Amino acid sequence: MSRKRQSVPQLDLLEAAPRRPDLDPTPPLARHGSCPRVLEMIRQVRIFFPELDGISIRVGLTRAAAGFAAKDEFMVWMNPRGLTRHTIAHELTHLLQNLDLVPKGEKSADLYALARHRTLVDEMPCYLKTPRAMTNEWPDRREEIEATLHRTAKEALVERENGRRRYLRWFEDVLAETWRPATVVAPIARGVQTALL
């Protein structure tokens, strides 16, 4: 006696469960011509934030500031004009603050963004006080300034781990005490030097 073979439904291994997007643009951003560039920049910076792995981040559009982050959800708003890696890192740090992984506050977000990785230091911080000479010399001494900001921010976090409560002030004070403007040859001295040649 032959039995009829029953067909058992097979699980389609090629059809995975729907995944949430890593970045979910709002309709205004999705319609904006810079949407692909903004999302790509955020993805590049997000690599340095493994704490946010697996989290879908809603991304909106703003023109009111360089960027914003929500306090109670995983959402950021970015201004496409002049968008920098530091701005993105600053806003992603706010999301870490929402998870209680980083101390609250704008200055803290600036510091933690600077300390995260040197490649994210592509502009001067907005909230931390830095020497005016450093800002003025950014175009000419950019690599040196990037390295100094990143290194000093990392040192400030070590100071915090060692119990220093005013680690943000420590960062500002160290920069103020150690940053030296480039030596400028006075115009008269240059004239004299030329005359001597």
Of the pLDDT bands very low, low, confident and very high (cuts 50, 70, 90), residue 192 is: very low
Q: Is 38 helix (H, G, I), strand (E, B) or coil?
A: helix
CB atoms closer than 10 angstroms to residue 177? 9
pLDDT tens across 72-123, in order? Answer: 899 999 999 999 999 999 999 999 999 999 999 999 999 999 999 999 999 9
* Ranges of each domain in the chain: 23-182
pTM for this model (two decimals)? 0.81
| Cα 117–Cα 20–Cα 104 angle in degrees, nearest 5 | 40
Is residue 164 exposed (0-12), middle (13-18) or buried (19+ Cβ within 10 Å)? Answer: middle
Report the Cα–Cα distance between both ends of the chain, in Å, rounded.
114
Of the pLDDT bands very low, low, confident and very high (cuts 50, 70, 90), residue 197 is: very low
Q: Residue type at 80?
A: P
| Tokens, residue 120 | 């994210």
pLDDT tens across 9-65, in order? Answer: 544 444 554 556 799 999 999 999 999 999 999 999 999 999 999 999 999 999 989
